[in-house]
Each structure stands twice: as structure tokens, then as C-alpha cells.
């Protein structure tokens, strides 16, 4: 049996603005996870259209395609091509869940919601010759005891961060602009692996560096405490994502730092209380953002700050104010977004009801284009401000200014090296990618992520603790 699993390239990855390194970071872990349910004797291919050539002159028995909003048209074209050949084609992912009727026209079977429970059911039915047209994830969701991720299918040399990992699903928050509530509708919206299973997967990964792709690594305190306790002494360096309130609450972030956390993606999003209320981002209300940056900086943790422009309380000054704050408070890297009302979200429903959606060209739903009528800005001013924010934040002067905001020379040097390396050396990244030598950059990344104490001295690795209690 021949199974081909495909992640089609996002439209923005094929545009003149394409930054190859941005789309060479992480392998398609979701597809590799589903591949774990396939019989070992089957011939399985995993193709990432961002980093390798997608051949379509074959005729697999089963084609599995993951669909995001800005790869939807390419995904549908690939699906139609294989169906015309007589291949059985299945589609799943965020966009399929949001617009199942649209996706169903291009597939023999679609999956709505997470696939860990529905994909094995489909395989059983398909092998028996009576697969359904639609499989909907509902109750009984779990990732405890599922098969190991098929990392043997991942071409590690094509990625800067092949050691990406996910140990939870979903997020406990309910922001109105986020896909999560639609994707996890009908069942649990946030759940975790068993701690021993998560630690076992970490142990099997080579090298030191890890990147947790979880939406909210600190979302379940008990699980996170057990995970970090089990990781102490492993000698790992890792990156992940968490919310403003979780950084400020208790000592969980200190436990993460002791376990090896060196860089954190934090969703600041907006400084406007009204914007936070309107987007149901209650976890950020009345929080001291500056305290978040101080606490992380004191722990030697670099910050990737996420900011959204174009919310209804944003005026023309929002771009410069946001950049200035981020630089002054030592945010190492920033990810700016134009607010985007994705189908399936509360934000999209609200804007549709208000008649504010201006296009349904999914290729433009990339957080770089304005696809709705802003309240206090013209679409042209919003897009211009977005691009200006990136140019200003990553200007040499602001990279240096942000680096010098830290108390120690080593942290300042780390900040400068990480920010400059990410944005200022594109030709070097392109050469390394074309030579398929991204793995050679791993020691450099690990060096930049090395731990420092508040006084700037490298901290000794703690001893490995006893195995924590298991969930």
C-alpha cells in the first residue's frame, strides 16, 4: 500500500517576499503524527512542499493533505489532480474544519477537528471498503497512548529545527480571533500527553535543542511542572510559547528556565484594554507587560513578542508606540500581524454580520494583507504601518538599542546575535538552505541559547531529579 502525505506550500511562501528560512524551520509534525497510525509495512511518503519538490506524476493508493487557509487553493488543486487519477484523497486541518463544505468538493473524505481519534477509524473503514465522506472529532479526545510520531519520515537535513515537538493539544483560552475554538468544537479544547510519554519522546530526540510548538506550553500547571521536573538535568535547550498571565503566575516560569527554557513566544497582541475586551483576551487584562519582560530577562530568557495591528481601538500611532515599547523593554524578536478574521472564528462571524469583510480570497488571509474594513485606519495606512513596524524594529539601531536594555553583557550579546541573525543575514541562510546544511547551524543556535545567570555567568546544569509522578 502506497500512502502519500502532503503539506502544500503556503501562498506567501511562494511570493516575492518569500524568506526561505522562515519556511524551513519545522517539519510537518501533524502529518508525521498521523503516520504513526499507518501499518509499518506500508510504503509512506511525507512531502513538505516548502522545502522539497512535490512530484505529482505518481498514483498512490491514498493521498493525505493538510490544509491551512493560505495553502487551500494549492491543496485543492493537488487533491483534484490525484482524484482525477483515481487516487483516494483525504483532506484535514484548520481550514477544512472551518469550511467543510468547500473542502468536501475536493476530497473523497474530510476530517473535521483533530485527527488522533478519527484517522484510525477512517483507516479501518477504508481498508474494509466503506469509508465515510466525513469524520468528525468529538468526545473521548486524548493523545495519551497514541503511536510514536513517525520521525523516520522527516528529512531532518532540510530544517533548522527538526527537533520540534508537541506535548499538548489546543489552548485553555478563548480569544475571538483564534482558530482554536472552531477546530476543537464538540470535545475537549485543551489536553496533554502523559508526562512519561512526553519525556520518553524528548529522550529519543538527538542533540540538545528542542522547540515546543504547543499553543500554550504552560497551560496545564500540573503537567508543565511534571514535564520541567523530568527535564531538569537532561541538558536540553528549548523554546516554546505561553501567555502573559502564565509568566506572571507563581514560579512555573522559573521551573521552565531551570529545565532549559531559553526563548519564549509571548502573545502581548495589544496595549489597549478595549481591544483586549473586544477580542476576549481576558488573560491579558490588567497585566503588567513590563513585568513580564523583566521577569523573563532576569531569567536569561529571550522574548519573541507577538503584536496585532488593526483592532478597532487602534489609531495611526499604534505602530510606532508598539515598536518603541518592544525595543525599550528588550523584546528580542517581534512577530507583527494585521488582524485577520479567519473563517470559523468569532471575529469572522462578528465582521460578517457587520458587513466589514472585503474579500474571501484565502490567499490574502496571511496577516500581511487587510481583508476587512478597519475602524480607525484606512486599509492602506494599516498595511503601510505594518511593514514600517518590521523595518523599524529590525533596523540596526533598534537591534542594538534593544540588546543594550539588558543588565548583563552576555544577554545583550545573545539578543543582538539572535535578532540580527534572524533578519539581517538572509543571503547566508539562502546559501545554507540550498546546500542542505541547516544542521550545521544547530551548534550556533545552541550557543546563542546558552544559559546565563543574572550576573552574566554561565550556570551549571542541575542534577537529574527523580522521575515525577505520572499523569
Cell numbers standing for residue 386: 505594518
What count of residues does the chain have? 471
Better-predicted residue by pLDDT, 316 or 287: 316
Domains, the chain: 2-136 (3.40.50.280), 160-448 (3.20.20.70)
Is residue 376 a contact partner of residue 314, using CB atoms and an 8 Å limit? Answer: yes
Q: Is pLDDT above 70 for 108?
A: yes
What would the pLDDT profile of 28-44 be if each residue is shown by its tens digit? 999 999 999 999 999 99
Q: Is pLDDT above 50 for 378?
A: yes
pLDDT at 248: 94
In degrees, rounded to 5, the angle at the alpha carbon of residue 404 between the alpha carbons of residues 401 and 408 is: 165
Q: What is the mean pLDDT of residues 127-152?
A: 95
pLDDT at 220: 96
* Residue 55 CB burial class (10 angstroms; 0-12, 13-18, ≥19): exposed
What percent of the chain lies above the pLDDT cut of 90? 90
pLDDT at 425: 92
Q: Is pLDDT above 50 for 456?
A: no
pLDDT band at 17 (very low <50, low <70, confident <90, very high): confident
What would the pLDDT profile of 44-73 be if each residue is shown by its tens digit? 999 999 999 999 999 999 999 999 999 999
Is residue 121 a contact partner of residue 95, using CB atoms and an 8 Å limit? Answer: no
What would the pLDDT profile of 254-311 be if each residue is shown by its tens digit? 999 999 999 999 999 999 999 999 999 988 887 899 999 999 999 999 999 999 999 9
- The DSSP line for 110-154 is EEES--TTHHHHHHHHHHHT---SEEE--SS---TTPPPP-GGGS
pLDDT at 461: 38
Q: Is pLDDT above 70 for 457?
A: no
pLDDT at 467: 31
Q: Is pLDDT above 60 for 469?
A: no
pLDDT at 450: 87
What would the pLDDT profile of 179-235 be if each residue is shown by its tens digit? 999 999 999 999 999 999 999 999 999 999 999 999 999 999 999 999 999 999 999
Q: Is pLDDT above 70 for 435?
A: yes
pLDDT at 370: 98
191 DSSP β-pair partners: 169
Better-predicted residue by pLDDT, 282 or 171: 171
Q: What is the mean pLDDT of residues 447-460?
A: 62
Q: What is the mean pLDDT of residues 442-446?
A: 91
Query: Which positions ≥6 away from 202 have C-beta within 8 Å?
Result: 165, 210, 231, 234, 236
pLDDT band at 453 (very low <50, low <70, confident <90, very high): low
Across all residues in the chain, what is the average pLDDT? 93
- Among 293-297, 450-454, 461-465, the least confident range: 461-465
Q: Is pLDDT above 50 for 349?
A: yes
Query: Which positions ≥6 away from 246 have C-beta within 8 Å?
Result: 216, 218, 219, 252, 253
Amino acid at each position: 500500500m502506497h500512502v502519500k502525505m502532503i503539506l502544500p506550500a503556503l501562498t506567501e511562501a511562494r511570493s516575492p517576499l518569500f524568506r526561505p528560512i522562515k519556511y524551513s524551520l519545522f517539519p510537518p509534525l501533524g502529518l508525521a503524527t498521523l503516520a504513526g497510525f499507518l501499518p509499518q509495512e506500508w510504503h509512506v511518503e511525507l512531502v513538505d512542499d516548502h522545502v522539497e519538490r512535490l512530484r505529482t506524476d505518481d498514483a498512490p493508493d491514498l493521498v493525505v493533505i493538510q490544509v491551512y487557509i493560505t495553502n487551500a487553493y494549492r491543496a485543492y488543486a493537488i487533491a483534484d489532480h490525484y482524484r482525477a487519477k483515481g487516487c483516494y484523497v483525504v483532506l484535514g486541518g484548520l481550514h477544512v474544519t472551518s469550511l467543510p463544505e468547500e473542502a468536501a468538493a475536493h476530497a473523497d473524505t474530510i476530517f473535521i477537528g483533530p485527527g488522533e481519534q478519527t484517522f484510525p477509524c477512517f483507516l479501518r473503514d477504508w481498508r474494509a471498503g466503506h469509508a465515510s465522506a466525513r469524520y468528525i472529532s468529538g468526545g473521548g479526545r486524548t493523545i495519551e497512548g497514541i503511536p510514536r510520531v513517525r520521525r523516520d519520515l522527516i528529512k531532518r537535513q532540510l530544517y533548522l529545527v527538526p527537533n520540534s515537538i508537541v506535548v499538548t493539544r489546543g489552548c485553555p483560552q478563548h480569544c475571538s480571533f483564534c482558530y482554536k475554538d472552531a477546530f476543537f468544537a464538540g470535545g475537549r479544547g485543551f489536553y496533554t500527553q502523559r508526562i512519561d510519554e512526553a519525556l520518553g519522546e524528548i529522550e529519543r530526540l538527538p542533540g540538545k535543542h528542542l522547540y515546543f510548538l504547543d499553543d500554550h506550553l504552560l497551560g496545564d500547571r500540573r503537567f508543565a511542572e511534571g514535564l520541567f521536573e523530568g527535564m531538569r538535568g537532561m541538558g536540553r535547550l528549548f523554546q516554546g510559547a505561553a501567555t502573559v498571565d502564565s509568566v506572571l503566575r507563581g514560579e512555573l516560569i522559573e521551573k521552565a528556565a531551570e529545565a532549559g527554557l531559553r526563548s519564549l513566544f509571548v502573545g502581548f497582541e495589544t496595549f489597549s484594554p478595549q481591544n483586549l475586551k473586544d477580542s476576549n483576551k481576558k488573560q491579558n487584562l490588567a497585566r503588567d507587560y513590563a513585568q513580564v519582560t523583566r521577569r523573563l530577562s532576569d531569567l536569561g530568557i529571550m522574548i519573541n513578542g507577538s503584536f496585532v495591528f488593526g483592532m478597532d481601538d487602534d489609531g495611526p500611532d499604534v505602530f510606532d508606540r508598539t515598536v518603541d515599547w518592544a525595543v525599550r523593554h528588550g523584546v528580542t524578536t517581534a512577530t507583527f500581524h494585521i488582524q485577520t478574521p479567519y473563517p470559523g472564528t468569532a471575529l469572522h462571524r462578528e465582521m460578517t454580520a457587520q458587513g466589514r469583510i472585503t474579500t474571501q480570497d484565502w490567499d490574502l488571509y496571511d496577516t500581511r494583507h487587510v481583508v476587512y474594513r478597519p475602524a480607525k485606519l484606512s486599509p492602506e495606512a494599516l498595511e503601510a504601518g505594518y511593514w514600517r513596524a518590521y523595518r523599524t524594529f529590525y533596523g540596526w539601531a533598534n537591534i542594538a538599542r534593544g540588546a543594550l536594555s539588558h543588565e548583563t553583557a552576555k544577554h545583550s550579546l545573545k539578543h543582538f546575535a539572535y535578532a540580527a541573525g534572524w533578519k539581517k543575514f538572509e543571503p547566508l541562510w539562502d546559501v545554507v538552505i540550498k546546500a542542505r546544511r541547516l544542521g550545521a547551524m544547530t551548534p550556533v543556535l545552541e550557543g546563542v541559547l546558552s544559559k546565563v545567570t543574572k550576573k552574566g555567568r554561565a550556570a551549571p546544569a542541575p542534577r537529574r531529579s527523580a522521575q515525577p509522578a505520572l499523569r
